[in-house]
Amino acid sequence: MNESGVIERQVAVLNRKLLGFDLTAFIRVKLSENAADRLLEFEAAAMRLTEVQELQLISTENAYRMRVVVPSFSDYEYFFRERLGNLPYFQDANSSFVVSEPKYSFALPL
């Protein structure tokens, strides 16, 4: 499975709460421009932010969805104002915060 590429990589799954990352947010980020080179520039900058765990281009007009983990709401405020807000072509964002997480899995339904 390694040789065929089915297994992309092997990682250790860390308990983020035990490490102090108590807040998870899902953020829909709208961009001011949607030209292909602008999307790639945004993606490259967003992927450098360590708080961003997932990044997807979604089917809404020039928008991305990201999952972000931070220790607290004050850390989220810093992330939003100083890091997310300074990404290229950032226009607007809507955030939803995880209240509980009954299931969190990496397993595929094979």
pLDDT at 86 over 90: yes
Please list, in sequence order, all residues whose beta carbon lies within 8 angstroms of the beta carbon of residue 20, skipping any fewer than 6 positions away.
Answer: 71
Q: pLDDT band for 107, please (50, 70, 90 cuts).
A: confident
The predicted pLDDT at position 56 comes to 97
The predicted pLDDT at position 98 comes to 97
Can you tell me which residue has the tokens 């997310």?
A: 84
Task: Tell me the per-residue pLDDT of 5-41, one tens digit each, with 9 for 90 and over.
Answer: 899 889 899 999 999 999 999 999 999 988 899 999 9
CATH 3.30.70.920 is held by the domain 23-97: yes
Task: Tell me the per-residue pLDDT of 46-74, one tens digit each, with 9 for 90 and over.
Answer: 999 999 999 999 987 779 999 999 999 99
Q: What pTM was estimated for this model as a whole?
A: 0.90
